[in-house]
Amino acid sequence: MLPVVHTTRFQESPMKRLISLMLLVLFAASTMTACNTVKGVGKDVEKVGDEMQEAADETGGTNP
């Protein structure tokens, strides 16, 4: 009878392990970049909202 050898899927091919690791790093880097981009957009939208509020206050558009 032949001995049973248990291997993980990454032991079968070092190239698969390398590609998987590279994809994980790429995904993590793009996620971090997206967070910074969304944060910047949020600040821009907030600034536009503040300016619209100031313009409405100056014209009396917010007075009942």
**Interval 16-45: pLDDT, tens:** 888 899 999 998 888 778 777 878 888 888
Non-local CB neighbours of 17 within 8 Å, separated by 6+ positions:
10
Band (pLDDT 50/70/90 cuts) for residue 52 is: confident
Alpha-carbon distance 49 to 58, whole Å?
14
Question: HSE (CB half, 13 Å, CA atoms) of 46?
Answer: 6
Q: How far is CA 55 from the centre of its chain?
A: 34
Average pLDDT over residues 2-6: 61
